[in-house]
Amino acid sequence: MRRFLVKFFILLMFISGMAQFKLFDISWEIFRVVQPLHIAFSLLVMLFFMNSFIYKHIRRYYFVKKTNSMDGWMLLISFVLVTLSGVYLLLVGNRGGDALGAVLFNIHLFGSFVLMLFFLWHITAPMKQSREPLALLAAILLFYPTISQSKITNLSNLEITKNGTKSYHSEDWTSSAKCKSCHSEIFEQWSNSNHKHIAGSNPYYMVMETLAGEVEGEKFREWCMSCHNPSALSVGFGKSTHAMDGNFVSNEHFEKGAKTLLKDFKEHGNFRLEEGVSCITCHQISDATSKGNASYKLLLDRKKYAFEDSKFTMPHLFSEKLINANPSVHKESYSKELYKDSKYCASCHDESHPKNGIKIVSTYEEWEKSPFNNPNDKTKHKSCIDCHMTNLSEGKFAPLKGTSTDGGTLKKDVKVHYFAGSNHFLAGLRDKKNEEQTVQLLKSSAQLDVAIKGKNLEVGVKNIGAGHHLPTGVADFRELWLDVEVKDKDGKLIVSSGKLKSDGNIEDKSRLFQKVFGDENGKPVGLLFWKYKTLLSDTRIPSGERRVESFELPKDAIYPLKVSVKLNFRIYPQWVSDKVRKVFPILPNPSIIELQRLEKELK
């Protein structure tokens, strides 16, 4: 009986292990069941059966009967190797960070073939005559095509349109809190970024979404939510919600490391929906076009390892071990070539009115026409993530060497998830490191020059660093302007422009680089940017171009002139912050960032 069981068990371990071999490409549904069974069964068999059998077997034949068998010893060695590598894969895994993992993975995989060969040799030793047909039969059995099955792809496409027709549940949206245990560094970066705080915890957004609902009807919020809060939209929520702290609005936008999210996940698991742009919002996008207005498809039916959704600690830890032991499926289901493509980002970073189709944000279109889009010359081509997800150091791109998974492969350029853009302010409320990355990026975008042409002082601003207009995005809510001071020989101020008024707004007639939206009657739209019908002005600087602003100098100016020019940036105009503060009184004022400064003496 024992002799039969040994053969049966070894065959079973081998087959269940082989089933996970990439070559066979078995369906994911079977894979995720076979994998834990293989581990659990092998552990049990090894602990309670095989070890004692091997011990007794060796004792009986080698020590008692004094028979020595070369194939027996070879079998033992391969057995030990396969077992130990298996234990390592379970406990540490093959995450890519250590070469040992990859080596042991291959030992475990190919060692098992060697083991089987020695095993067949060993057990057929007593009956040498019938060896060949048996080996042949075993090989046929093992590689019989029925074992491998065709891939079942019953994965449904989530296409979040503005109507949100397909229905999903909170549990379909795996909480980002889950990703933290293995991707701690990236989680940390994301948790303080503007992508995480883009819905309920973003005061500006909440005011705007509510306002849009009030002015255009509640349904209109869905337009906003399709990019800002797709999870809530998909499960049928009509609006974004914010957390409460007693009778006060929770100060989540000041909170570092997504504490509320982690707490929610601990207490409610996936039952409480994570709102906003979560890890899987981006990492489950299966297809995207550059149309904008959430032109992406989300695929929530991803391949899950066994126990991945378990609410209990032990099975969940086990599922993490399962991923680490064989992470290829996990990697594939969360990362795609598409993610490096600019159109992937364009699906949300281009925006047009949902009804009349008037383009409101056209960052992607700007990039498309810019020198940064150069598919013929790979060295000059720069996509969104080359600037916005690359680490910066001392004002220059300094790709971060490191790992994206704890213990994972060392990468030359880990894509950082600060999503540095222009909003240093809100990210800076939580994390100075994030703010500093953004400010570095901002400062690398423009260059100043001054010269006197006739009676005028000409200040040139060149967009040298951005692959899109400067500023872009919601350019009607961005302030980029020149702060100019000219003093004559005696130090008398003869030209001044771009100063702040006492209420914090920039004085009139300042030189702003911005887009001003007007409604159908040509009046500025103010907060209601979706009312945009006529473009009142567009003084933004396209990529690679230079804009000249000239300031008239008084005729009697005594030379030499001392010119001081600053290129200033403020993420939200004072009047916008003032309005938002009426609803969120503790919101501080965004600071003014001096992007460039030029002091020159002109003769």
Partner 1 sequence: MKKLLSYALLIAIVIVSMMATIAYFTPPKKVPNYSDAELRELAINKGHKAMPSSLDELISLVDDASNPMTQEKITLGEELFFDTNLSKSGKTSCATCHSFDRDLKNSGALLKMLTQKEPKTNDCAACHLRDQSGVDRFTFSQGDRDTMHPHLLNTQTILNTAFAKHFTWSGEVKSIREQSANSLLAHHKLNMTKEDINSTLAKNPKYKKLFAEAFEDGITFDNTAKAIEVYVKTLVTRGAYDKFLDGDDTAMSQRAKRGLANFINHGCKGCHAGRAFGGESVQRFPLREFAQLYDVKPNFEVIPTPKRLDSEFPFENNGGYLGKGDAHLFRVPILRNVTKTSPYFHNGAVPKIREAVDIMGRHQLGRHLTLEQIDEIVAFLKTLEGDIVDYRETK
Residues near partner 1, by CB under 8 A: 167, 169-171, 206-207, 210-211, 214-215, 235-236, 238, 241, 243-244, 246-247, 249, 268, 271-273, 311-315, 527, 579, 582-585
Q: Are 129 and 198 in contact (CB under 8 A)?
A: no
For partner 1, the closer of residues 19 and 199 by Cβ is: 199
For partner 1, the closer of residues 442 and 527 by Cβ is: 527
For partner 1, the closer of residues 207 and 475 by Cβ is: 207
Long-range pairs, 495-501, Cβ under 8 A, ≥24 = 495/457, 495/551, 495/552, 495/553, 495/554, 497/551, 498/566, 498/568, 500/574
For partner 1, the closer of residues 21 and 271 by Cβ is: 271
Conformational region of residue 101, where left means phi above 0, alpha means psi within -120 to 50, and beta covers everything else: alpha
Q: Are 261 and 242 in contact (CB under 8 A)?
A: no
For partner 1, the closer of residues 211 and 500 by Cβ is: 211
For partner 1, the closer of residues 286 and 310 by Cβ is: 310
Q: Are 35 and 306 in contact (CB under 8 A)?
A: yes
Backbone angles phi, psi at 449, to 5 degrees: -145, 150
Min dist CB 227 to partner 1, Å, is 21
Radius of gyration for the chain, computed over Cα atoms and rounded to the nearest angstrom: 32
Q: 570 forms bridges with which residues in the sheet?
A: 479
Min dist CB 576 to partner 1, Å, is 10
Calculate the alpha carbon distances from 477 to 186, 360, 599 in Å. Answer: 29, 12, 28
Record the tokens describing residue 56, joined without a space: 């007794």
Min dist CB 556 to partner 1, Å, is 43
Helices 221-228/203-216 angle, 10° precision: 150
For partner 1, the closer of residues 221 and 388 by Cβ is: 221
Min dist CB 211 to partner 1, Å, is 6
For partner 1, the closer of residues 210 and 534 by Cβ is: 210
Backbone angles phi, psi at 568, to 5 degrees: -105, 155
Q: Are 375 and 381 in contact (CB under 8 A)?
A: yes
> Parallel, antiparallel, or unpaired: how do β-strands 534-538 and 546-552 relate?
unpaired
For partner 1, the closer of residues 250 and 564 by Cβ is: 250
The three-class DSSP label of residue 435 is: helix
The three-class DSSP label of residue 261 is: helix
Query: Residues 238-273, buried b or exposed e (16+ Cβ, 10 A)?
Result: ebbebbeeeeebeebbebeebebbbebbeeebbeeb
The three-class DSSP label of residue 17 is: helix
Residue 471: is the preceding peptide bond cis (ω within 30°)? yes
End-to-end alpha-carbon separation of the chain, Å?
A: 105
In degrees, to the nearest 5, what angle opens at C-alpha 516 toward C-alphas 511 and 521?
135
How many C-beta atoms lie closer than 10 Å to residue 405's C-beta? Answer: 21
For partner 1, the closer of residues 66 and 311 by Cβ is: 311
Backbone angles phi, psi at 400, to 5 degrees: -80, 120
For partner 1, the closer of residues 115 and 208 by Cβ is: 208
Determine the Cα–Cα distance for residues 241 and 232; give it in Å rounded to an integer.
Answer: 9
Record the tokens describing residue 306, joined without a space: 């066994």
For partner 1, the closer of residues 167 and 356 by Cβ is: 167
Determine the Cα–Cα distance for residues 206 and 508; give it in Å rounded to an integer.
Answer: 29
Min dist CB 471 to partner 1, Å, is 24
Reference 529, options 358, 363, 276; nearest CA is 358
Q: What is the 3-state secondary structure (H, E, C) of 221-244?
A: HHHHHHHHCHHHHHCCCCCCCCCE
The H-or-E segment that residue 134 falls in is helix 131-142
Min dist CB 292 to partner 1, Å, is 27
Min dist CB 584 to partner 1, Å, is 7
For partner 1, the closer of residues 1 and 244 by Cβ is: 244
Min dist CB 262 to partner 1, Å, is 16
Q: Are 350 and 363 in contact (CB under 8 A)?
A: yes
Min dist CB 206 to partner 1, Å, is 7
For partner 1, the closer of residues 209 and 366 by Cβ is: 209
Min dist CB 218 to partner 1, Å, is 10
